[in-house]
Amino acid sequence: MSKFSKDSIIGVIGAGAMGSGIAQVAAMAGHNVVLFDTNEAALDKSRVGLEKVLSRLVEKGKIESVASITSKYTYASDLSAFRECSLVIEAIIENLDVKKKVFAEVEHVVSADCVLASNTSSLSVTSIAAACKSAERVLGLHFFNPAPLMALVEVVPAVQSDDAIVQECKALMNEWKKVPVIAKDTPGFIVNRVARPFYGEAIRMMEEGIADAATIDWAMTEIGGFRMGPFTLTDYIGHDVNYVVTETVFQSFFYDPRYKPSFSQKRLLEAGWLGRKSGRGFFNYAEGAVQLEANKDETLGRNIVERIVAMLINEAVDALHLNIASAQDLELAMTKGVNYPKGLLAWCDEWGADKVLNILDGLYNEYHEDRYRASVLLRRAAIGGTKFM
């Protein structure tokens, strides 16, 4: 059971896309919501955006009226508005110093039993919690964008977190009809750690001239069964977001070569070619632009899929080996968080750990790079013929 009730007031810090989305989720789950931002224009934009979304939901018969949800909102530019909140979720810029400052300020305002959560996607929750005198009430609640539509929430205990609070927040996420998974407080948590090769290895193959972006995207969607290819997806996410997460994970893992960013993506960021939002990224989205044609060679396509999927499986297996999450939560995270066609551990069982190991060892023997080192748990499974699921 959750300690939270429908009478619990939920506070959200940051009226950007993510904060606004989280506030909407809470309001539609029946809570009164306080949405805070120091920028009045951001609050106005959030209010207008919410009314548009709610109007569409009324048209679809999903809610009775716009007012049934907007009446639950309080828009605030003063932290004192959080005084009656039972839970405050921070969703601001991914900057550790800024987050720590905000948490320290909020703690002075809220009640002693108010839970404080960060929506950080890649920063240390433990470090954020350390800014608070009552660090045991701090944890990570990482929603995925857009929060009202994406089911997954990574629940991330800090080293200091009270386990009872963690379990209560997990129960609350279930009440909000989300799919919560528990992730250890390590860089990237589950999704942003395990998914790195989907982008990184695809870019590496493009840089080496093995295949162009259109061909790799064709292979991963048509043969691999992914909803989007890696280049289409990074253009959709935006390189200002995707590259920065990669760089953050790489640095946080003490420069482990498995997470090494690419110069190709960094140059797109430097050029301001951020993807769809700017009209150009790996692909050109200008009207009338000539698009690349994929080379639909089946053998090439299968090789592309096997290389990227083997790298993804290895990350999932290694996360299991290091107790980042349970096998079930790892599978849920990758299918519900990034819509993979199947869980990576199940995919490994389907292929056989020996096949995955052979692909990785072949790459390691060819490149002699730690990027391709196989997890010891994968090696054990291949030798023992064991399955993960």
Task: Tell me the catalytic residues.
Answer: 121, 142, 154, 192
Q: What's the DSSP call for residue 280?
A: B
Nearest to 318 by CA among 280, 348, 279, 295: 348
Nearest to 218 by CA among 206, 237, 145, 191: 206
Angle between helix 230-237 and 239-252 (nearest 10): 100
Residues forming beta bridges with residue 140, ordered by sequence position: 118, 156
Nearest to 355 by CA among 296, 300, 305: 305
β-strand pairing of 152-157 with 138-143: antiparallel
Contacts of 220 (CB under 8 A, 6+ apart): 202, 226, 229, 230, 304, 305, 308
- The C-alpha R_g of the chain, in whole angstroms, comes to 22
* 77 to 36, 73, 115: CA distances (angstroms): 5, 13, 20
What is the spatial distance between Cα 344 and Cα 342, in angstroms, rounded to a whole number?
A: 6
* 45 to 50, 85, 295: CA distances (angstroms): 9, 23, 44
Query: What's the one-letter identity of residue 334?
Result: M
